[in-house]
Amino acid sequence: MIDIKFLRDNPEAVRENIKKKFQDNKLPLVDEVITLDAERRSIQQQADQLKADRNKLSKQIGALMGQGKKDEAEEIKKQVAANAERLAELDKQQTELEEKVTKIMMVIPNIIDPSVPIGKDDSENVEVQRYGEPVVPDFEIPYHTEIMEKLQGIDLDSARRVAGNGFYYLMGDIARLHSAVISYARDFMIDRGFTYCVPPFMIRSNVVTGVMSFAEMDAMMYKIEGEDLYLIGTSEHSMIGKFIDQIVKEEELPYTLTSYSPCFRKEKGAHGLEERGVYRIHQFEKQEMIVVCKPEESPMWFDKLWQNTVDLFRSLDIPVRTLECCSGDLADLKVKSVDVEAWSPRQQKYFEVGSCSNLGDAQARRLKIRVDGPNGKYLAHTLNNTVVAPPRMLIAFLENNLNADGSVRIPEKLRPYMGGKTLIN
């Protein structure tokens, strides 16, 4: 969410940003919010004047009563009572206008970074760099669930009977591999100076609307019936929410946290063959990283965060590439985003395994996360990035480490987490 003062002073810049994100249907919102904001400020001025008059009249009443002029004092009391009624009306109007302004401001997209490429959707994202040499073996690589089934590592049929489509049972060494990847990612981030955290897996609605757009919320979140609680879609939601309504000391920044959680997502819509199996599911586990920092440091942390994911995948011998997300592919709160994609020998192309985002002060403004610095208070910047999400990571891992005989090689870094195993067979 952008600053209302910025919109007020730079309406053309806001309109141009909306156009860059190909959301022209939101252009009228700029004039609408300017009109409502002007009305709100006018009412505020009237209310402030009435409050000043009330203080002045109250002093007059005291003076008149002291002089024994009771009748005159009673007349002024009537005026004070009338002013109080008017003030109550103005306060109600102001509250209604503030709610309308806030609702619109939460729909107007954040100002994107000047370096973001302009494009309508993810088809126009721009490749930045490749890491590792993509390999296509001289034997056929089965679909990932077929690999798992041959290793007695997955049971989709039972999961469908128990929970429906979009769920699975992981079994045996594949289940162990899943846990090994999470544990390795945890230790990888701790070694890079991040503090490990296990957050709440449910959050209140004010946190949900603080960390994401309404469109994302509707598409992703599961609500707990009868309670003001939602299941998290990623631990980023809980981790950023940890700082809601907080004033943090500048000398304590940055906060660098890495968190484990299950994640729950609706994943609405139909998906192609390659996005079935464990690619798009309703429940999975993930290791995440978030940073809360000073505004001037967020570009530096953005580059560090996505590099962490690249380094982790490369440590497991998985080729990856980075993609700069174009303007039309950015969620409304994001300033800049880079996707990390892993190589799929089966598909002979890359697919997304993580996303790194700089949200500027948008989440901090919604959640009131402020920093107390030497020159006063200001809004923090927040960033997040996927360390690893094993369902997709398992696809990349199995395809890139599959042997011709159907066994799967365990890279050296993971062997301590797999009881010293070098193969799954």
Q: What is the pLDDT of residue 129?
A: 97
Instruction: List pLDDT tens digits, range 6-47.
Output: 999 999 999 999 999 999 999 999 999 999 999 999 998 888
pLDDT at 242: 97
Q: What is the pLDDT of residue 269?
A: 52
pLDDT score recorded for residue 57: 75
pLDDT of 75: 75
Return the pLDDT at 278: 79
pLDDT at 273 over 60: no
pLDDT of 274 reads 45
All structural domains of the chain with their residue ranges: 4-105, 122-424
Please state which of the ranges 209-213, 233-237, 288-292, 361-365 shows the lowest mean pLDDT.
209-213
- 3-class DSSP assignment, residue 250: helix
The pLDDT of residue 279 is: 79
pLDDT of residue 91: 87
pLDDT of residue 116: 97
- Cα 358–363–367 angle (5° rounding)? 155
pTM summary value: 0.89
pLDDT of amino acid 270: 46
Q: Cα angle vertex 326, ends 321, 331, to 5°? A: 105
pLDDT in tens, 95-142: 999 999 999 999 999 999 999 999 999 999 999 999 999 999 999 999
Strand order in the sheet with 202-203: 202-203, 230-231, 222-223
Q: Which has the higher per-residue pLDDT, 371 or 221?
A: 371
* Residue 264 predicted with pLDDT over 60: yes
Q: What is the mean pLDDT of residues 314-338?
A: 96
What tokens does 18 get?
Answer: 């909306």
Residue 48 reports pLDDT greater than 60:
yes
List pLDDT tens digits, range 50-90: 887 777 777 677 776 777 777 777 777 777 777 788 888 88
Q: Which of 66-75, 111-120, 250-259, 351-360 has the lowest average pLDDT?
A: 66-75
Task: Please tell me the least confidently modeled range out of 4-18, 82-96, 200-214, 222-236.
Answer: 82-96
Say how many C-beta atoms besides its own lie within 10 A of residue 5's C-beta: 9
Residue 327 burial (CB < 10 Å; 0-12/13-18/19+)?
buried
Tell me, what's the pLDDT at 268?
62
Average pLDDT over residues 403-420: 96
Tell whether the model's pLDDT for residue 275 goes beyond 50. Answer: no
Mean pLDDT of the chain: 92
Q: With b meaning 16 or more CB within 10 Å and e meaning fewer, what string describes 61-82? A: beebeeeeeeeebeebeeebee
Decide if pLDDT at 267 tops 80. no
Q: Which fold has domain 4-105?
A: Helix Hairpins (1.10.287)
Structure tokens at 331: 């969620």
Q: Quote the pLDDT of residue 212.
A: 87
122-424: CATH topology: BirA Bifunctional Protein; domain 2 (3.30.930)
**Predicted local confidence at residue 84, as pLDDT:** 81
Find the largest Cα–Cα distance for the chain: 106
pLDDT at res. 350? 97
Task: Decide: 385 and 355 in contact? Cβ < 8 Å.
Answer: yes
Secondary structure in 3-state letters for 161-172: HHCCCCCCEECH
